[in-house]
Amino acid sequence: MSTSYRQPGVVLTDRRFTVPLDHADPGGESIELYAREVVAAEKAGEELPWLLYLQGGPGFGANRFVGRQAWLDRALREYRVLLLDQRGTGSSTPANRQTLPLRGGPAEQADYLARFRADSIVRDCEHIRAEVTGGAPWTVLGQSFGGFCTVSYLSLAPEGLATALITGGLPSLDAHAEDVYRAAYPRIERKVAAHYARYPQDVERARRIADHLLTRDVVLPNGYRFTVEAFQSLGLMLGTSDGSHRLHHLLADAFVRTPAGPELSDAFQEQAQALLSYAAHPLYAVVHESIYGQDTRPTAWAAERVRAEFPQFDAAKALAGDAPVLFTGETVHPWMFENDPALRPLRETAELLAARTDWTPLYDRDRLARNEVPVAAAVYHDDMYVDAGHSLQTARAIRGLRPWVTNEYEHDGLRTGAPRVLDRLLAVVRDEV
Q: Over the stretch 97-151, which tens digit does the pLDDT of each residue have? A: 999 999 999 999 999 999 999 999 999 999 999 999 999 999 999 999 999 999 9
- CA distances (Å), origin 91, targets 11, 14, 17, 423: 19, 10, 11, 29
User: 324 preceded by cis ω (within 30°)?
Assistant: no
> Residue 419: is the preceding peptide bond cis (ω within 30°)?
yes
The residues near 193 (Cβ < 8 Å, ≥ 6 apart) are none
**Active-site choice (277, 314, 411, 412):** 411
Q: What per-residue confidence (pLDDT) applies to 3? A: 85
144 given a catalytic annotation? yes
From CA 321, how far away is CA 325, in angstroms rounded? 10
Annotated catalytic, 333?
A: no
Q: How confident is the model at residue 413 (pLDDT cuts 50, 70, 90)?
A: very high
d(CA 293, CA 359): 6
CA dist 309 and 186 (Å) reads 11
DSSP annotation of 207: H
CB 110 within 8 A of CB 352: yes
Does the global pTM surpass 0.85?
A: yes
Per residue in 223-246, pLDDT tens?
A: 999 999 999 999 999 999 999 999
Instruction: Report the SS3 class of residue 75.
Output: helix
SS3 assignment, position 30: strand
Query: How far apart, in Å, are the Cα atoms of 186 and each of 89, 119, 369?
Result: 31, 30, 31
Over the stretch 332-343, which tens digit does the pLDDT of each residue have? 999 999 999 999
Q: What is the dihedral of CA 96, 100, 106, 107, to 10 degrees?
A: -120
Asked if CATH classification 3.40.1180.10 holds for the domain at 3-174+363-429, the reply, yes or no, is no
Q: Which residues of 72-95 are buried (b: 16+ CB within 10 A; e: fewer)?
A: bbbbbeebbbbbbbbbbbbbbbbb
Residue 357: φ, ψ to 5°: -125, 15
* Residue in 25, 217, 322, 358 annotated catalytic: 358
The answer to whether the beta carbons of residues 36 and 83 sit under 8 Å apart is: yes
Q: How many CB atoms lie within 10 A of CB 42?
A: 11
pLDDT at residue 81 greater than cutoff 70: yes
Q: Supply φ then ψ for residue 180, to 5 degrees.
A: -60, -45
Mean pLDDT along residues 17-42: 97
The stretch 72-91 carries a mean pLDDT of: 98
Over pLDDT 70: what percentage of the chain? 100
Q: Read off the pLDDT of residues 200-209 as tens digits, 9 standing for 90 and up.
A: 999 999 999 9
pLDDT in tens, 360-392: 999 999 999 999 999 999 999 999 999 999 999
Letter for the amino acid at 73?
Answer: D
User: Residues 144, 155, 277, 290: which is the catalytic one?
Assistant: 144
Share of the chain above pLDDT 90, in %: 98
Where b means 16+ CB within 10 Å and e means fewer, 268-303 reads bbebbbeebbbbebbbbbbbbbbbbbbeeebbebbb
Please state, in angstroms and as integers, the Cα–Cα distance from residue 95 to each residue in 22, 61, 85, 159, 342, following that order: 15, 12, 12, 30, 12
For residue 331, which amino acid is it? T
The question of whether 212 is a catalytic residue gets the answer no
Give the pLDDT score at 418: 79
Rounded CA-CA distance 199/246 in Å is 11
Which residues lie below 8 Å from residue 229, measured CB to CB, with a gap of 6+?
Answer: 315, 328, 333, 335
Torsion over CA of 275, 279, 284 and 288, rounded to 10 degrees? 100
Give the start-to-end residue ranges of the domains of the chain.
Answer: 3-174+363-429, 177-355
- Write the DSSP string, 305-320: HHHTT-GGG-HHHHHH
267 CB contacts (<8 Å, ≥6 apart)?
A: 253
* Cα–Cα distance measured from residue 19 to residue 109, given in angstroms and rounded to the nearest whole number: 19
